[in-house]
Structure 1
Amino acid sequence: MADFSFQNKTVVILIKDAILGGAERQALGFAKYVKENFNCSVSIVVTYSNEQSVEFQNFLNEIGLDKVYYFGPPSLSIKEEFSIKNLKKAIRALKYLVKITLGIRKLNPDILIPFMNGPSKIASLIYNFTGAKTTFWHQLGLEVCFYDWLEKIAVKKAPAIIANAENGLEVFKEYYKVPKDKIHVLPQFLAIERKSLDKENLKKQLSIPSNSLVIGMIAHYREEKYQELLIEAFSEIKIDTKIHLVFLGNKDNNENTFNKYHQLIELTKKLNIEDKVTLLSGINVHDVLNVLDIGVLVSEIEGTPNVVMEYMLYGLPVIASNHKGCCALLGDSSFLISNDKNILAQKIEELATDEDLRKKEGEKNLKMISQNSAENYFKELQIILNN
């Protein structure tokens, strides 16, 4: 494929679920940008679920997109063995791939843009049967590889492997032995624009004390996100400054997120800090970003985390786990830490008690994030696709 440009193309974006996590915000931000700047026709294909969250629908409305197609949960893990069970899985996988291929063919795509490993696997297997000229494997953050027969075929068929952080490429380099010229690191761009809202009014709406310094973590209520660690560190902080802790996620994604949300509430009660902690779900991310004074992200693993970029966009000081993607965003920041409760508490105290330091860190972060522009991203992406 030579001289690929997004101009006037038909783009089909594949996502796993119709929720509004980091990957989905990226996907919808991608859709918005190519619509507005390249005059693209864009459709969204949801590969796993058949339902959408209210937040997802609101974001769709915001960008003026209503072409969403659902294909239900696939069964796409086929082992390299002969058994009746495996044969049945292969038949189910083939039926799903035929169904989604025929569905996407009707959209007349020029390119398939997947977000995360599951949709990437599907896109790489079917793109040349849909009429699309190309696609790529798009690895983001904490991802699951099954190392099954279909995945091996899909990785081999993928025209390129693009990860948003260096650590996302390890499995492709070490296990799948993908040639170096097919492998690329391309951190995503900021998928949102900053909105300045009335901070004090928002605090009142969210039942946050008006005179408190607000520390926040915006992340899924999932096992790999360490809200518990932040709650425990927060409970040990003894300073004169009045502080409040806020979490935002979607508790209704599934049973696990619902359970974790309630476990976190119980932990705040156990530590006797429930009046100093607010757990939110289904709230607009801009509302929370506008009330924060310090942004935190502590987790097991990350690619290039959307939320750290969003903290930086809002000029916030950021405390984050020292994953490679966080380091790439925050540079030599002294607030990149190991997942240690005492260190986390110390860093929160350091920022909470020093307004000048918060301002200095926030201004530095705002300046640094300007390099993650959509213009830079699409320039690099088109170079990769043309190569």
Structure 2
Amino acid sequence: MRVLQLIDSLQIGGAERTAVNYANYLVNDIEASFICASRKEGPLKQEIKPGIGYLFLNRKKVLDFKAVNKLHSFIKKNQIDIVHAHSTSYFFASLLKLRNRNVSIIWHDHNGNRILVSKSKNRVLIYCSYFFSKIITVNNDLKNWAEINTHCKKVYYLSNFSVLKKEEKQVTHLKGEAGKRLICVANLRHPKNHIFLFQVFKEVSKLIDGWSLHLVGKDFDDAYSNELKGYIREHNLNNIFFYGQIKDIHYVLNQSDIGVLTSSSEGFPLTLLEYGLAKLPVIATNVGYCNHAIRNENEGTLVEVDIKEFSKALLNYINNYDLRKSHGSMLYRNIATNYNVEKNIKALISIYEE
């Protein structure tokens, strides 16, 4: 079995990190493992292990047949039989299928917001699904959606997994007072709902002193980013800090005290798995499959998108150190047992082989 992971970029994000992890951890269990970034490279390129075949296409436009031919030649040369396309790379994979009928296309849907979007806005995806051999989804809601709306008959749910690399270089030093740091790992995009988080932090800051909020994730320097920074200036929230994309996530999480995630929609967020592996107590909004990472009140706190409810949960952790340690340990046990590399890779290979 020779498998290529196809992803638009190697910027730091959930789907991108999953593609790199699959390429890295499949290499010992299949004949050959490859990864292709079609549009952009990025920091995750440095995490691709030796022995993984790598291709960058530098695709400039949607219908880039030069890039299609380049990938086709790479697949033919390396005798690749499965292309595992992640997220929006499904369209490029469909163009490849027109060029190479022998390759199997498996599409992996990471977008938890898809079930909230009208069918008409997914019409390109639905048409492309004629070319998919199989679909993998990160939660059962997406699985049900794919079974109903796409033309692919084989749809599987496969949970995410995460790995924290303890050997990474320690370069990102968090500001603020040690022992009083909230961390939010999420790219600056609308579904991550940062304004809601800022509103919560503003309310909580009236009642406690010294705590700071630290934001890790790509800043796209767009209208959403400007809105966030404008809100901070308007309300004088001087204890909120931005770090952009980082590579030493294990080190950063070890400097943090409470993990938060305030998304309005999710698939199965890798962020919660990373928090769990770092033994952080976690408060998250109850969306997507967050309730599979945090299964009960002993493993963390799930709340609705409500400022008072989230603020109450946050204050409960801030004022109770022992509770934080207990919930962090219980969450770690769940993540380490149920969302580990070995279990996930074994399940993935079973999907490939079926």
TM-score (norm 1): 0.79
Aligned length: 344
1:46 match: 37
Percent identity among equivalent residues?
23
Alpha-carbon separation, structure 1, partners of 2:329 and 2:166: 15
CA RMSD, 1 decimal: 2.9
Residues 19-68 of structure 1: per-residue CA shift (max 9 Å, x gap): 11111111111111122x22654332223x2x323x224334x6675723
Indicate conservation of the 8 Å contact 1:29/1:192, yes or no. Answer: no
Residues 133-179 of structure 1: per-residue CA shift (max 9 Å, x gap): 5331211134667444x634431332221101122234323333654
Alpha-carbon separation, structure 2, partners of 1:74 and 1:103: 20
The higher radius of gyration belongs to: 1
2:129 match: 155
Does residue 338 (structure 1) correspond to residue 298 (structure 2)? The answer is no
2:145 match: 171
Alignment of 1:86-97 (within 5 A): 92=63, 97=68
1:228 pairs with one of 169, 182, 195: 195
2:83 match: 112
Q: CA deviation at 1:197?
A: 8.9
1:208 match: 176
Distance 1:40 1:69, change over 3 A: farther
Alignment of 1:271-282 (within 5 A): 271-274=235-238, 276-282=239-245
Alignment of 1:183-194 (within 5 A): 183-194=155-166
**Structure 2: gaps spanning 5 or more residues:** none
Alpha-carbon separation, structure 1, partners of 2:245 and 2:20: 17
1:325 match: 289
**Structure 1: gaps spanning 5 or more residues:** 1-8, 76-91
Residues 197-240 of structure 1: per-residue CA shift (max 9 Å, x gap): 98xx96xx333223x41111000111211111111101111444
Indicate conservation of the 8 Å contact 2:9/2:37, yes or no. Answer: yes
Alpha-carbon separation, structure 1, partners of 2:74 and 2:24: 22
Alignment of 1:119-134 (within 5 A): 119-124=89-94, 126-127=96-97, 130=100, 134=104
Alpha-carbon separation, structure 1, partners of 2:65 and 2:168: 49
Does residue 69 (structure 1) correspond to residue 56 (structure 2)? The answer is yes
Indicate conservation of the 8 Å contact 1:11/1:43, yes or no. Answer: yes
Alpha-carbon separation, structure 2, partners of 1:367 and 1:63: 31
Indicate conservation of the 8 Å contact 2:174/2:214, yes or no. Answer: no
Q: CA deviation at 1:244?
A: 1.1
Q: CA deviation at 1:265?
A: 2.6
TM-score (norm 2): 0.86
**What code does the residue aligned with 1:23 have?**
A
1:5 match: none
**What code does the residue aligned with 1:186 have?**
L
Alpha-carbon separation, structure 2, partners of 1:335 and 1:375: 27
Does residue 379 (structure 1) correspond to residue 346 (structure 2)? The answer is yes
Alpha-carbon separation, structure 2, partners of 1:128 and 1:365: 45
Query: Secondary structure in 2 aligned to 1:207?
Result: coil
Q: CA deviation at 1:100?
A: 3.9
1:136 pairs with one of 97, 106, 121: 106
Residues 88-129 of structure 1: per-residue CA shift (max 9 Å, x gap): xxxx4767645543443333213212211x223433553585
